[in-house]
A and B are shown apart, each in its own frame.
Chain A
């Protein structure tokens, strides 16, 4: 029981078994549901009333083992180890009963009472898999409920049984030598919320994450003694003990699966399996990727950034909202206030118009498209397609998730670099996000600018970006020490995304995005407004003139755009967009300024998240590199275009 007297309920299970959907069913609040392993790095909690009793429900990150091998797994194990809870629901993918029971067995070893939700019963049925629930309940000693979480089937039953979890009777004998070692270790271990046997098994399995916790509770001599027992035990086995233990567990689990589950031989593998295979086929995967990119371009680029933005900007704001607001402010006597809200650098006419009219439609369409990619199971298959390419820059295919998400919002993407396993990979991806990945808002504005000049400009812009991406990726993979991590990636089946899930997810992300972005737009506008009022803008333009005019070959006025680019790159791009519309930029100047602003420093929010994730030193170092590097590339492009006499007209 928590301090407030609320009961606590934990959801535990393998990745991609539908924990988050069951969480949504119980609490009514939707957590991010994703097919990509590890997206629920952050733990979500919500409130639920089950048969008149209030619960706080915690959705733990997916685990394949409670002996942690990743940050996610450690979070879940630590919750079980340190926190109070009243009941646990283990969510299982009934098609993958074998791997689920591996978790049940470990919960049983811990002495944690639980009930089991056998989810995805519909998919199992399609594959001709039948499960004898009564026999399964009997052999593991806890209640089991068959569920289809996406259709809320079995949830009522689950709510009924989840209040009376039982201790499982599952257990494995690991052989005399291991059992003796466990007996020797148990008296040395501290009292904990989970059994000493399970702690001993974690240590035998080579768990280092328990060290600091142990050090705080027992004397060093006991730790040395524990270590010696484990070392002596390991000396008697040719294979790593963690592996030996998992093998023993799997042997026990296989027996149960065999007795409780049967499948129709060679059940029909239907259209979804075929589609899944095509999307990662060495040959057909590529056209599929191109089709996916094309559809995304049509939806986000043409529909979102084109039609919707046009409608929002020209009709909704410039015809309806802004004239009304401006007329309202006509009644405001103070000239100063009028300019503050509806002037050239006005909060309504500049900040709000921009964030709602331009940013909102683009991010909404992008996050919808991204949600579809996630829920359909396409992203992991995309990871396979790009794996080899990413190897060149010290990453593996898994890095595709933060990179693609970065095209939506680099701040959000910087947070998801946590799914990468090594520090080296996280640093490289964070740097590339800060440098060469434009976010959807920026992309929308930039596409609008480039569309105004020739197609060549778009191609040059894309080539420069790709060149920078791979050059910097390659160099940093050489400079930053460390090994690339293994590419072992679980592929969820291809599924038809549910519209409701997509909309919920998109809404959540938009809310987050607007909270991050709109205050910055307002702040940026205020800075411009102040600078303008104090006549500072002219001064800054003079100071920056050697760089802006001399190196980049842009008019002095562009300084304001770059200044605001320090807050948000996309907002800076919007300033350039306005200049282009006013006919103040030649096509070459448009291209140079667009390339420079794309590579320009990340937005303030992204910078703060980078500090949080990578530390102040790394974040500052990245900024110190990105800013001059963007100017360098922009200048190089400026001089080569002029030298070659390219006009782009």
Chain B
């Protein structure tokens, strides 16, 4: 993360490797019962993920990160320090929000999500992260079902957890909504919807969800299949 660059001065382990290590430790703590994590299992994960070559390299990373106060050492066990935990929480939050964004909004496949999300976690600034979180409606978990750590934006809106943008299929009959974007499987569908006046910015009312979705836009009433309604993203307006 650029704004933490200056703190890296004088340490061997910097930037992405540090982020990755903190992330690995967070994930092991998340899956493990207790807080204490065996250093060898962290090494194994780090080598598996490919950002550290071997256990010798990992020893160096551990030493360095303990020295800068990111982690605490206790014999064969390592754990996150207060400072390290904060940093790890932010990394995990960025990564899982990115995964949610890529999966729900851009409908990418698992491999593309994994690769892109790994890039996002290093570059998103706190403001952008909070914007993504709000845009997605402060989702509680990522596409894999793991919890997304809450950010300050989530607390501000704790009373208002309804997602800002959601697929039309999640609306309730009677809801009025404005279309924010459409992400269809094929282009023909998008073109066809646009000739019927269904484009971002159009206000719609959902009449019913079964046996097919029926929406009204202006004086145009349309019936759609569920899979099309899942590709139209809307924002509820009152």
Task: List residues of A whose CB falls within 8 A of some B CB.
Answer: 64-65, 67, 69, 93, 95-96, 98-99, 102, 127, 129, 205-206, 239-240, 242-243, 246-247, 250-251, 254, 276-277, 280-282, 285, 380, 383-385, 387-388, 396-397, 486-493
Interface class of chain B by DSSP:
mixed
Q: Which residues of B contact A281 (CB under 8 A)?
A: 208
Q: Which residues of A contact B189 (CB under 8 A)?
A: 486, 488
In the complex, the answer to whether A206 meets B192 with C-beta atoms within 8 Å is no
In the complex, the answer to whether B194 meets A397 with C-beta atoms within 8 Å is no
CA distance A491 to B190 in the complex (A): 19
In the complex, the answer to whether B191 meets A242 with C-beta atoms within 8 Å is yes
Q: Which residues of B contact A276 (CB under 8 A)?
A: 221
CA distance A184 to B97 in the complex (A): 43
Closest to A245 in B: B194
Query: B200 an interface residue at 8 Å Cβ cutoff?
Result: yes
- Closest Cβ of chain A to B199, distance in Å, is 5
Q: Which 4 A-B pairs have the closest CB atoms?
A: A246-B194, A95-B219, A65-B195, A64-B195
In the complex, the answer to whether A486 meets B199 with C-beta atoms within 8 Å is no
Of the listed stretches B19-27, B43-51, B58-66, B222-230, chain A binds B222-230
Query: B5 an interface residue at 8 Å Cβ cutoff?
Result: no
Taking A242-B191, A277-B207 as known contacts, 20 extra A-B pairs with beta carbons closer than 8 A to each other, sorted by chain A number, are: A67-B195, A69-B192, A96-B219, A98-B218, A240-B190, A242-B187, A242-B194, A243-B191, A247-B194, A250-B199, A254-B201, A280-B223, A282-B211, A387-B225, A487-B223, A487-B225, A490-B220, A490-B222, A491-B214, A491-B221
Given A240-B190, A243-B187: A282 touches B208 (CB 8 Å cut-off) = yes
Q: Which residues of A contact B208 (CB under 8 A)?
A: 277, 280-282
- Closest Cβ of chain B to A518, distance in Å, is 40
Query: B128 an interface residue at 8 Å Cβ cutoff?
Result: no
In the complex, the answer to whether A96 meets B193 with C-beta atoms within 8 Å is no
- Closest Cβ of chain A to B130, distance in Å, is 24
- Closest Cβ of chain A to B99, distance in Å, is 21
In the complex, the answer to whether B197 meets A397 with C-beta atoms within 8 Å is no
CA distance A65 to B196 in the complex (A): 9
CA distance A280 to B207 in the complex (A): 10
- Could you write out 19 A-B pairs with CB less than 8 Å apart? A96-B197, A98-B218, A127-B219, A242-B194, A247-B200, A250-B194, A250-B201, A280-B212, A280-B214, A282-B208, A387-B212, A387-B225, A388-B212, A486-B228, A488-B193, A488-B223, A488-B228, A489-B223, A490-B220
- Closest Cβ of chain A to B232, distance in Å, is 11
Task: List residues of B whose CB falls within 8 A of some A CB.
Answer: 187-197, 199-202, 207-208, 210-212, 214, 218-225, 228
In the complex, the answer to whether A486 meets B219 with C-beta atoms within 8 Å is no
In the complex, the answer to whether A282 meets B210 with C-beta atoms within 8 Å is yes
Given A277-B207, A280-B208: A490 touches B193 (CB 8 Å cut-off) = no
CA distance A280 to B195 in the complex (A): 24
In the complex, the answer to whether B211 meets A384 with C-beta atoms within 8 Å is yes
Closest to A383 in B: B223
Of listed A93, A247, A396, residue having the most chain B CB within 10 A: A247
In the complex, the answer to whether A384 meets B214 with C-beta atoms within 8 Å is yes
- Closest Cβ of chain A to B105, distance in Å, is 13
Closest to B199 in A: A247
In the complex, the answer to whether B218 meets A387 with C-beta atoms within 8 Å is no
Closest to A69 in B: B192
Q: Which residues of B contact A65 (CB under 8 A)?
A: 191, 195
- Closest Cβ of chain A to B60, distance in Å, is 43
